[in-house]
Amino acid sequence: MVFSRAGFLREDCSPSLTALGQFLERAAPGRVSAAFELARMSRWRIGGPADFLVEPATVAELQGVMAVIGDAGVPHVVIGDTSNLLFDDSGVRGVVVRIARALSHIMFTADGQVRAGAGAWVPGFVRTVIQHGLSGCVHAIGIPGTLGGLVVMNGGSQRRGIGENVLTVLVLMENGHLATLSQADCEFGYRRSVLQRSGAIVLEVTFQFTPADARALRREAIGIMQDRRRKFPKQFPNCGSVFVSDPAMYATVGPPGRAIEDAGLKGLKIGDAQISPLHGNFIVNLGHARSADVLALIHEARERVHQRTGFYMDCEVRHVSPDGSVVPAHLRDWSTQREGFA
């Protein structure tokens, strides 16, 4: 059965949504939630309802779900643990597909290679690698989120990226076929990769790590976590670093948090969103923040820092619109949503 995009977007179209839900349920039995409030899973605790949330348990289920979505022509977005996502206040008028813990296997070989599912929780993955006496990913110990998202963003800390240790990435292509990408294919750069724009879904990653002393690695990891607890806000919901650190800006001005602090913006509020008084590169939800509030703060910080330094800070955070499109948050139009400062 083929669904029309217009049919799914009609507000009085419960039969069409019901049919879509039935087809999704056939593809991923017991793993479909209707009218799911995205704020429940958002690390910012922001976001309206999605028509459907689907959490496939296997690659075959994921392929089935994506086939249904493709036939329907319905808006959709594929996510991990939401640690760098800002959902829109209006939610998603379509399907949110979450690569969940069911796809979180971790397998070791004798030569320092590790194969892991995209749904693996990053801190748990790093701890397991450390326990096996392998070096190369300790820098990612404090990063919340799933492994697939970490690889897509080439995430890390201490100005390192997980892509340094990637050998291959198994992906589900938009045409429904599986493909294996090499490290070179992924085009890793600082907090970027070709995976951010390819439309492919990361399923599994193979890494090459180096043998090392597990006790020394554990001490290093503890030190990183202590430093993060001291520097980063934990009291209020947030998504971690908002702006990506540009190497050219870093060399002359410093990291985004320092630039925002030097601009006198720490503590600035719009609605219930606030630039954290503890760290300038964090925006926290004081209780009832909207996505519009966060977008307005992002714009204000970018403009004020640009005025002082000549550098525009780009976002690590991605905004998810109601039509399922995902773009760096600084590219979203905020002009009609801004309400003023508290």
Hey, which residues are catalytic here? 191, 241, 316
CA 31 – CA 54 distance, rounded (Å): 6
Where do runs of H (alpha helix) occur along 145-254?
Answer: 147-153, 183-186, 195-198, 214-231, 247-252
Q: Which amino acid is located at 300 in the chain? A: E
Contacts of 197 (CB under 8 A, 6+ apart): none
Whether the CB-CB separation of 80 and 104 falls below 8 Å is answered with no
Output the six-digit token pair for 122.
Answer: 């990053």
Instruction: Give the 3-state secondary structure of residue 54.
Output: strand
- The whole-angstrom distance between residue 260's C-alpha and the CA centroid of its chain comes to 23
DSSP H stretches of helix in 232-323: 247-252, 256-262, 291-309
Binning the chain into helix, strand and coil, the percentages to the nearest 5 are 35, 25, 40
Q: In this structure, is the dihedral angle defined by the CA atoms of residues 229, 231, 232 and 234, taken in order, positive or negative?
A: positive
Count of Cβ atoms closer than 10 Å to residue 341 Cβ: 11
b/e string for 237-269 if b means 16 or more Cβ within 10 A? bbbbbbbbbbeebbeebebbbebbbbbebbebb
